[in-house]
């Protein structure tokens, strides 16, 4: 019970691992890859490998030959050394025993004696005995072909055989062939070009027609073996030629006295076509008489020059199909050598012969893959004098330089499924880590034609012995071990080896899987586990039978049963040992029907969530091979082209009516708190989501939210109308938020809030599009899905609040008469006290600013043009930016110095330490809210210069062109700003200013004291004004309004002492004032007199009062007299 209760929606790591290993195990045991192994057995137990002498090219050509009850491998070794006298590397054909992997004779391969005479010799006209032929290097065995089982005859050719003409003056490689019959005891020689050459010389035709024909470059027999076909690629200036020779038989011995036909010489533009590279025969006209096909790899001429083609001739060597106007079989790429190899075989079971053509040098320049090779399968669709073929099925090589299609072999029905198969060699294919070279691909036929994917890939690296050029030659269609399945021989001439692979019997298994009951009720717990837990259970019944050709009476099958196979995690059912898969073997016997069935019980977990989807039961099966196969034991194999897996389903009963089908009707509604989001804001986005089900129960109902880029999930609010809803981001996609609504989510409405963070917004879009969708594992009625999805846009804005503040250093200055003349100003200290204004711009946010501008109006002159605040420097001391002045800085070229460290420290203190207290003076984003900065006064001292420097300064001042000006006196103003003074404009362009970042602009100047003194200024306020505006935000979004702000800085200037008026006071004012004073004095005296101020008390009066002091009730108690006890 504890185990069942611990099962949750989120599988544990242990469950993941268990499922993973179960899947891998199933794949390894039962889902064998098609191209790695089917019924050609590559095991050491049955594989036969035959080798020749090193360097003999043993395996350059191969074929099987059957004679009586014996089957042989024929292997050509065109550079083999023979016993012929005077012949070096004349070549040979070997006959090898391949019935068993263990040779029954000391030497399993023996050369066939075709020729023992050595080079022919003849007498010339002068009586000299001269060499007539050259058999050294003739490459005998380069071509080998057996006519069995039609006739017990074999042809072997030496295409490089050399013959000397009757005059002994010309050396002609005409080629030579031998036919062998009667167990290789009857040998017949056939060299059509040698005969023609002698005839040509007799008729003075010359050597230039067939003297280089190389007859026997390719060879084949007609299906009845009564016509011998030879390809001669060198005839007629290498146009090539096809010979057809009628062969008759006398007690099985071939007779070459029949008719001989040959294709004539073509036009000169056909030179170098190389007709005869490959030959074959089949029936294409419907007259039951064989036609002949021949490969022309360098034809067919313009406009398909060098693309290659295949020509078809009738039995009289009249062209049936050779040119494009007759829908000839033409290659698709120049230089691909289309027609290098070909075979004729019916591969789709329609009774009509098909043509399979190789183009081993086909390349893919776009992919930089060269000599990949291709094979084209043409299906005969309509026989006739102009037969119609289908568009080709194209099989392509996989590895560059592999030359797929160098060899093609008709295998017959290698898997006994009723359709013939083919083998294709890629002798130069190499793979990563392969020490050997070459591969052979087996393709199965079908009613639709050749299957596009190989049924088996056999690589040279699959075998322990070194093999190179594996697949240069391939042969099949013969059963050499009498198991009723054709076998395959593969030559590897560079390793002087031939490998024979035998076909395994194919088992056609029929497996039936049933479950009982098919519908289970989660409340009907009729089974009990070992720990006493009551659970639901059901039975799995597996029954199997099999058929096949030459299959054994007993076969062992192994089964892998996987419960709830469609779920990779969180399986709902298990076997008795609580595992979700089991493997076992069973022996099937044809004579015992009871052995064909197995029953197993499975149990349902008590805490399943998915009650909607059916529970699948998957049964995979394969042959159970013996641990150690016996030598030459061909084990049966399951048919690759039949299913090896069966699946059944168990349904869970649901409260969804009589049909047990729940049809929900889900809807989703979304709203948000607020109207927009601002880039950079740390305020959470709150969204309200309402999900409603107006139908039947929704199983495993989920709400999915696709979050836009830059939005992060924070959490959920408390839902209303249901249980707690959990939401989680998916591991595979952190933008996908999935909320579990319930299982089932019954007909009701629920609401939840989503809390989202937008601090990561990049400002690339002016809208955040949230994709909301609600769904369940059971489908809704068609047409009701529209309200399951909603796209909710949230507007995105950019905005920044600004704070512009300023400070004057010092806030008040004192000016006084300087101890120098006006023309002596050479140093900035001679001007007057230093006045520095610092403006601080802070981006309060939330959005960043990419560029902005601070425009400062600086009072530099009075209205009459006298210097006021003499500008010395403008700098951006914090942040990035630059300032330009619409005028001159230090226009008089006066010697300057940097701001003092003390003043810098005071500026930092003024701007940073008291921001909270002075926040009311900060400028708001509105132009109307302008605040003046109040700072403690920093006293300024006037620099007093020594008298002995006056002359030096005076001379220096003259050099600078400073002249004494006559100042015009006017009424002193109380305010000096850009209204009553002349200002210059300072433009400061500031770069990126992120949220909470600060930029500081400092303007340093000197108060021109002479202007204030000579103008009669008293207390004066000097004001600069700064206007700040945002020019651009660093986002793709355009701001609705670009923020602005304004601030001003005021510096107060006071003279060192109050000014005294210089006008004399009028006399009448003095006289009037004196009279008024005297009159006031008289009045005061009279009042005092009336009050008795001047009257003195006598001693008697004082004594009387002292003796009789007044009481508190006395009317005189309130008088001013005090008793003598009072303390003074």
Domain of 1039, CATH number, reads: 2.60.40.1530
Residues 784 and 824 in one domain: no
Residues 783 and 817 in one domain: no
Looking at residue 68, what is its pLDDT? Answer: 84
Question: Could you tell me if residue 1107 is inside a domain?
Answer: no
* CATH number of the domain to which 303 belongs: 2.130.10.130
* CATH number of the domain to which 598 belongs: 2.60.40.1460
Question: Could you tell me if residue 997 is inside a domain?
Answer: yes
Mean pLDDT of all residues in 362-372:
94
Cα–Cα distance for residue pair 1007/1012, rounded to 1 Å: 9
Q: Which one of 371-375, 684-688, 1076-1080 scores highest in mean pLDDT? A: 371-375
pLDDT exceeds 70 at position 875: yes
Contact 923, 803 (CB under 8 A): yes
Looking at residue 107, what is its pLDDT? Answer: 74
Range of the domain at 744: 666-797
Looking at residue 178, what is its pLDDT? Answer: 97
Residues 545 and 597 in one domain: yes
Q: What is the pLDDT of residues 578-637, one digit of tens each?
A: 777 777 767 777 767 667 888 889 999 888 877 777 889 999 998 887 767 778 888 899
Residues 792 and 810 in one domain: no
Residues 238 and 252 in one domain: yes
Q: Are strands 812-815 and 800-809 parallel, antiparallel or unpaired?
A: unpaired
Q: What is the pLDDT of residues 387-430, one digit of tens each?
A: 999 999 999 999 999 999 999 999 999 999 999 999 999 999 98
339-364 b/e (C-beta count within 10 Å ≥ 16 → b): bbbbbbbbbbbeebbbbbbbbbbbbe
pLDDT exceeds 60 at position 1088: yes
pLDDT exceeds 70 at position 723: no
Question: Could you tell me if residue 1123 is inside a domain?
Answer: no
Q: 391 phi and psi, to 5 degrees? A: -60, 145
Q: Which residue has the tokens 């993973």?
A: 20
Quote the DSSP letter at residue 364.
Answer: B
* CATH number of the domain to which 769 belongs: 2.60.40.1510
Looking at residue 1123, what is its pLDDT? Answer: 39
Cα–Cα distance for residue pair 690/721, rounded to 1 Å: 10
Alpha carbon separation from 54 to 97, 101, 452, 513 (Å, rounded): 20, 21, 38, 57
For residue 769, the tally of other CB atoms under 10 A from its CB is: 12
Q: How confident is the model at residue 963 (pLDDT cuts 50, 70, 90)?
A: very low
Looking at residue 160, what is its pLDDT? Answer: 97
Question: Could you tell me if residue 444 is inside a domain?
Answer: yes
Question: Could you tell me if residue 1120 is inside a domain?
Answer: no
Residues 99 and 235 in one domain: yes
Q: How confident is the model at residue 1104 (pLDDT cuts 50, 70, 90)?
A: low
Cα–Cα distance for residue pair 869/863, rounded to 1 Å: 13
By C-alpha distance, which of 63, 250, 62, 224 is closest to 149? 224
Q: Which residue has the tokens 């005090």?
A: 1122
Q: Give residue 799's Cα distance to chain centre.
A: 38
Residues 584 and 596 in one domain: yes
pLDDT cut 90: percent of the chain above it:
52
Q: What is the pLDDT of residues 225-242, one digit of tens each?
A: 999 999 999 999 999 999
Q: What is the pLDDT of residues 433-463, one digit of tens each?
A: 666 799 999 999 999 999 999 999 999 999 9
Q: How confident is the model at residue 147 (pLDDT cuts 50, 70, 90)?
A: very high
Q: How confident is the model at residue 790 (pLDDT cuts 50, 70, 90)?
A: very high
Contact 389, 327 (CB under 8 A): yes
Q: What is the pTM of this model?
A: 0.62
In the listed set 617, 652, 687, which residue is the last one of a domain according to the structure?
652
Question: Could you tell me if residue 923 is inside a domain?
Answer: yes
Count how many Cα atoms sit within 13 Å of the Cα of residue 550 in the half-sphere of its side chain. 15
By C-alpha distance, which of 986, 965, 987, 1003 is closest to 862? 965
Average pLDDT of every residue of the chain: 83
Mean pLDDT of all residues in 69-77:
94
| Token digits of residue 142 | 């380069």
Question: Could you tell me if residue 741 is inside a domain?
Answer: yes
Residues 955 and 987 in one domain: yes
In the listed set 768, 797, 826, which residue is the last one of a domain according to the structure?
797
Residues 396 and 425 in one domain: yes
Question: Could you tell me if residue 766 is inside a domain?
Answer: yes
| Token digits of residue 707 | 């979050």
In the listed set 1029, 1055, 1081, which residue is the last one of a domain according to the structure?
1055
| Token digits of residue 741 | 């609504």
Mean pLDDT of all residues in 914-926:
37
Of 452-466, 512-526, 715-729, the poorest mean pLDDT is in: 715-729
Cα–Cα distance for residue pair 229/226, rounded to 1 Å: 10
Residues 633 and 585 in one domain: yes
Cα–Cα distance for residue pair 291/274, rounded to 1 Å: 20
Residues 474 and 352 in one domain: yes
Contact 198, 170 (CB under 8 A): no
Residues 84 and 25 in one domain: no
The total domain count for the chain is 4
Rg (CA), the chain: 57
């Amino acid at each position: 019970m504890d185990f069942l209760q611990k099962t949750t929606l989120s599988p544990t790591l242990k469950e993941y691992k268990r499922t993973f290993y179960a899947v891998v195990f199933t794949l390894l045991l039962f889902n064998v890859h098609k191209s790695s192994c089917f019924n050609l057995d590559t095991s050491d137990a049955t594989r036969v490998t035959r080798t020749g002498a090193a360097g003999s090219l043993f395996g350059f050509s191969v074929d099987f030959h059957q004679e009586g009850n014996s089957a042989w491998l024929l292997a050509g070794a065109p550079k083999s050394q023979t016993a012929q006298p005077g012949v070096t590397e004349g070549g040979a054909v070997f006959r090898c025993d391949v019935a068993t992997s263990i040779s029954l004779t000391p030497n399993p391969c023996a050369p066939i004696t075709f020729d023992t005479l050595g080079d022919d010799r003849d007498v010339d006209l002068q009586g000299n005995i001269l060499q007539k032929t050259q058999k050294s290097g003739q490459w005998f065995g380069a071509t080998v072909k057996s006519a069995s089982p039609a006739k017990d005859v074999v042809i072997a050719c030496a295409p490089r055989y050399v013959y000397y003409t009757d005059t002994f003056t010309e050396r002609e490689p005409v080629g030579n062939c031998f036919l062998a019959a009667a167990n290789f005891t009857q040998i017949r020689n056939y060299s059509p070009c040698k005969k023609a050459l002698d005839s040509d010389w007799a008729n003075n035709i010359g050597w230039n027609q067939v003297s280089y024909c190389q007859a026997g470059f390719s060879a084949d027999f007609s299906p009845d073996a009564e016509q011998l076909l030879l390809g001669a690629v060198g005839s007629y200036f290498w146009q090539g030629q096809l010979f057809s020779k009628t062969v008759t038989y006398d007690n099985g011995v071939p007779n070459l006295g029949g008719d001989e036909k040959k294709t004539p010489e073509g036009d000169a533009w056909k030179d170098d076509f190389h007709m005869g590279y490959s030959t074959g025969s089949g029936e294409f006209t419907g007259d039951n008489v064989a036609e002949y096909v021949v490969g022309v790899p360098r034809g067919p001429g313009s406009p398909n020059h060098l693309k290659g083609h295949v020509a078809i001739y009738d039995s009289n060597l009249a062209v049936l199909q050779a040119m494009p106007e007759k829908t000839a079989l033409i290659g698709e790429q120049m230089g691909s050598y289309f027609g290098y190899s070909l075979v004729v075989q019916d591969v789709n079971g329609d009774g009509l012969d098909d043509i399979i053509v190789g183009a081993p040098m086909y390349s893919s320049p776009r992919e930089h893959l060269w000599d990949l090779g291709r094979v084209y399968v043409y299906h005969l669709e309509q026989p006739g004098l102009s037969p119609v073929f289908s568009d080709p099925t194209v099989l392509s090589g996989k590895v560059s330089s592999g030359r797929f299609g160098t060899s093609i072999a008709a295998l017959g029905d290698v898997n006994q499924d009723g359709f013939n198969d083919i083998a294709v060699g890629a002798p130069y294919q190499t793979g990563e880590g392969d020490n050997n070279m070459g591969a052979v691909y087996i393709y199965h036929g079908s009613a639709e034609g050749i299957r596009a994917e190989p049924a088996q890939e056999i690589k040279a690296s699959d075998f322990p012995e070194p093999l190179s050029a594996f697949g240069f030659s391939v042969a099949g269609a013969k059963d050499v071990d009498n198991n009723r399945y054709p076998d395959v021989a593969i030559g590897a001439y560079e390793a002087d080896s031939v490998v024979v692979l035998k076909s395994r019997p194919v088992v056609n298994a029929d497996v039936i899987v049933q479950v009982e009951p098919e519908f289970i009720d989660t409340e009907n717990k009729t089974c009990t586990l070992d720990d006493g837990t009551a659970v639901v259970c059901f039975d799995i019944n597996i029954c199997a039978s099999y058929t096949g050709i030459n299959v054994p009476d007993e076969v062992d099958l192994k089964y892998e049963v996987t419960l709830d196979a469609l779920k990779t995690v969180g399986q709902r059912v298990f076997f008795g040992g609580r595992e979700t898969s089991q493997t076992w073997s069973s022996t099937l016997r044809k004579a015992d029907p009871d052995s064909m069935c197995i029953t197993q019980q499975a149990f349902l977990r008590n805490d399943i969530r998915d009650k909607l989807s059916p529970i699948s039961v998957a049964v995979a099966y394969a042959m159970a091979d013996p641990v150690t196969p016996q030598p030459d034991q061909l084990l049966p194999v399951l048919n690759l082209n039949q299913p090896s897996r069966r699946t059944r389903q168990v349904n869970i009963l649901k409260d969804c009516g009589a049909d047990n089908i729940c049809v929900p009707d889900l809807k989703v509604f979304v709203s948000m708190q607020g109207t927009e989001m601002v880039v950079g804001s740390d305020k959470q986005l709150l969204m309200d989501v309402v999900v409603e089900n107006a139908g039947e129960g929704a199983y495993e109902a989920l709400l999915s939210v696709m979050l836009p880029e830059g939005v992060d999930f924070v959490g959920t609010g408390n839902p209303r109308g249901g249980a707690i809803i959990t939401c989680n981001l998916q591991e595979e996609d952190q933008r996908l938020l999935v909320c579990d609504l319930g299982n089932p989510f019954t007909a009701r409405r629920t609401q939840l809030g989503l809390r989202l963070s937008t601090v990561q917004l990049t400002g690339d879009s002016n809208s955040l599009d949230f994709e909301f969708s609600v769904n369940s594992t059971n489908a809704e009625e068609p047409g009701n899905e529209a309200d399951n999805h909603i796209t909710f846009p949230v507007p995105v804005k950019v905005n920044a609040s600004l704070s512009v503040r300023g400070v004057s250093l010092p806030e008040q200055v004192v000016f006084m008469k300087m101890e120098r003349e006006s023309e002596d100003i050479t140093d900035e200290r001679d001007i007057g006290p230093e006045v520095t204004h610092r403006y601080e711009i802070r981006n309060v946010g939330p959005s960043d600013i990419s560029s902005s501008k601070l425009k400062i109006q600086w009072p530099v002159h009075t209205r009459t043009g006298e210097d006021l605040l003499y500008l010395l420097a403008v700098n951006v001391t914090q942040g990035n930016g630059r300032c330009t002045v619409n005028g001159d800085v230090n226009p008089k070229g006066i010697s300057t110095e940097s701001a003092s460290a003390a003043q810098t420290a005071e500026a930092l203190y003024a701007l940073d330490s008291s921001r909270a207290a002075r926040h009311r003076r900060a400028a708001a984003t509105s132009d109307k809210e302008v605040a003046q900065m109040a700072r403690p006064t920093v006293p300024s001292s006037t620099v007093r210069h020594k008298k002995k420097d006056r002359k030096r300064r005076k001379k220096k001042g003259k050099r600078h062109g400073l002249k004494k000006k006559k100042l015009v006196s006017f009424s002193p103003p109380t305010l000096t700003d850009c209204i009553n003074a002349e200002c210059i404009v300072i433009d400061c362009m500031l770069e990126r200013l992120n949220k909470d970042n600060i930029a500081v602009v400092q303007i340093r100047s000197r108060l021109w004291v002479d202007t204030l003194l000579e103008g009669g200024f008293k207390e004066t306020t000097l004001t600069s004004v700064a206007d700040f505006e945002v020019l651009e935000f660093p986002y793709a979004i355009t701001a609705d309004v670009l923020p602005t702000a304004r601030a001003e800085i005021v510096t107060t200037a006071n003279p060192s002492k109050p000014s005294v008026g210089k006008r004399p006071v009028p006399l009448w004012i003095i006289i009037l004032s004196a009279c008024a004073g005297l009159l006031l004095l008289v009045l005061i005296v009279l009042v005092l007199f009336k009050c008795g101020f001047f009257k003195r008390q006598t001693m008697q009066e004082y004594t009387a009062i002292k003796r009789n002091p007044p009481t508190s009730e006395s009317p005189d108690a309130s008088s001013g007299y005090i008793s003598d006890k009072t303390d003074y």
